[in-house]
Amino acid sequence: MEGYQVIHEKSPAFYDKYERKAELQHQTHYCPGCGHGVVHKLIADALTELGVQDRTVLVSPVGCSVFAYYYFDVGNVQVAHGRAPAAATALKRANPESIVIAYQGDGDLAAIGTAEIIHAANRGENICVFFVNNSIYGMTGGQMAPTTLVGQKSTTSPWGRRSHNEGLPIHVCELLAGLETPTYLERVALSDMKNIMKAKKAVKKALQNQKDGAGFSLVEFLSPCPTILKMDPVVARQWVGDTLLKAFPLGVFRDRKPELPVDAKIPHQTVGEALGVSDTVAEIPPRRHHRTRDLTVKIAGFGGQGVLLMGQLLAEMGLRESLEVSWLPSYGPEMRSGSAHCHVTLSHDRIGTPLISHPEVLVAMNELSLYKFAPSVDSGGLILYNSTKPPEGFAAPQARIICVPASDIADKLGSAKVANVVMLGALLEETECLPAESAISVLQSTVGNPKLLELDKQAIAAGRDYIDTQVEVGAVSQPDGYSY
């Protein structure tokens, strides 16, 4: 830009567009003045400067930073509350060339995840832990954290933390410094620019350590959480410098490569070598039906319409046909709006992620799901909609839509509950992704009640029949078979 010098720009380690909610794709979800945004920036800059973005995996926690995977353009894994160091251990050991980061809040790391962090540090795992200590549980609305200060009010200590009742704050760096194996432990603060620059160096050093194979590094950031502390961003930042920092002194608590005892030098053997057996697993010839086909499917509807079960049945069928399969149910905010959905992948190759952003097939069991998910269907994809006709004015330009009145058919069969199985029959018939006999065999082994089993068999047949007899040929181009 003429007349301007670019001093700060978005790091290439961030995605250009954050694929979150439609109106929020240019910004993070963090509150104004939140320390997480600053720490993200420091990590992203360091990844770029060290040239390791392409081999980095970030493990995001449960807490306000749960959505870090929307921002960092690296490998991303989101784990259960407190388990980031354990997951990071597995990722690093499975792929030693990767740079693995466990990103955690103080509730996540120092409360529910106390065991994981201590043991990962004690094993000297060659990972980086970035620990954001804002003295409170942010995401859940301000409960007391292990790092909450004495006298500090929280929703679970409305009188202020009392040492005789809740104990004293836990100093994580000092605690871990009691172990022999950690390589680098430093506490920094996001209280002012000078300290933020020190924090930047600490992040880079931790990542460099990992690059050099030096062992376990943890950087603790004293960080503002203006929203929960009910302060404006500037005051919250000052509070970190004036108050939090006094209780948590800054400094380097460890900076040396650990001297490992002799047993660490025992040469590594594979399990096979140690047991004197072959490491190579005998090739099991694949047992695949000639009609199996790769497919990504999103199934959506109201809670109670059996959309999750339909996905499970499909995945189980794929499994029995020796395909790689994944089934990912959706919980969370979607449940509150009354809808549920799941993602199913059927594949001849290993599946990278169970999350499907652009499904080849959408099964929409109600109108809400149709409107919500149709825009994301892959171009040239297929929508199976539970109705006799699309809603007035609805257009899905990039996909074919086939209306299957599964609920009506199920009603006629005697139970509205089998609408999902009718739709399964229609899906199998239309896509030929799996043989219908495989659906029967899965139902036979999962449905105990003989009457219900009979009904399910009829429902599968009715769904297939509807596609074959009621759907106009031309609007519904049938694939002409798949042979492998």
Ligand X SMILES: Cc1ncc(C[n+]2csc(CCOP(=O)(O)OP(=O)(O)O)c2C)c(N)n1
Among 36, 161, 171, 343, binds ligand SF4 (CB under 6 A): 36
| Phi and psi angles of residue 437, each rounded to the nearest 5 degrees, phi first | -60, -30
Is residue 31 part of the contact set for ligand SF4 (CB under 6 A)?
Answer: yes
Is residue 34 part of the contact set for ligand SF4 (CB under 6 A)?
Answer: yes
Number of residues lying near ligand SF4 (CB under 6 A):
12
Q: What is the total residue count of the chain?
A: 484
From the list 89-97, 221-229, 340-348, 380-388, the region that binds ligand SF4 by CB under 6 A is 221-229
Among 39, 46, 86, 145, binds ligand X (CB under 6 A): 145
Question: Which residues lie across from 347 on neighbouring strands?
Answer: 324
The item of ligand SF4, ligand X, none sharing an interface with residue 227, based on CB under 5 to 8 Å by kind, is: ligand SF4
Among 39, 47, 57, 62, binds ligand X (CB under 6 A): 62
The item of ligand X, ligand SF4, none sharing an interface with residue 106, based on CB under 5 to 8 Å by kind, is: ligand X
Among 11, 13, 14, 30, binds ligand SF4 (CB under 6 A): 30
C-alpha distances out from residue 340 to 59, 154, 300, Å: 26, 34, 6
Tokens of 425: 């029959």
Among 75, 124, 138, 146, binds ligand X (CB under 6 A): 138
Give min distance, CB of 324 to ligand SF4, in A: 37
Q: Using CA of residue 133, residue 45, residue 251, residue 121, what is the dihedral sign? A: positive
Give min distance, CB of 234 to ligand SF4, in A: 13
Number of residue whose CB is nearest ligand X? 105
The item of ligand X, ligand SF4, none sharing an interface with residue 107, based on CB under 5 to 8 Å by kind, is: ligand X
Is residue 139 part of the contact set for ligand X (CB under 6 A)?
Answer: yes
From the list 10-18, 134-142, 342-350, 408-416, the region that binds ligand X by CB under 6 A is 134-142
Question: Which residues lie across from 255 on neighbouring strands?
Answer: 184
From the list 70-78, 222-230, 311-319, 444-452, the region that binds ligand SF4 by CB under 6 A is 222-230
Is residue 107 part of the contact set for ligand X (CB under 6 A)?
Answer: yes
Among 134, 210, 217, 386, binds ligand X (CB under 6 A): 134
**Cβ closer to ligand X: 140 or 441?**
140
Question: What residues numbered 358-397 form the site for ligand X, per CB under 6 A?
Answer: none
Give min distance, CB of 226 to ligand X, in A: 12
Question: What residues numbered 136-155 form the site for ligand SF4, per CB under 6 A?
Answer: 138-139
Alpha-carbon distance 1 to 311, whole Å? 51
* Residues contributing to the site for ligand SF4 (CB under 6 A): 30-31, 34, 36, 64, 134, 138-139, 225-228
* Residues contributing to the site for ligand X (CB under 6 A): 62-65, 81, 105-108, 112, 132, 134, 137-140, 145
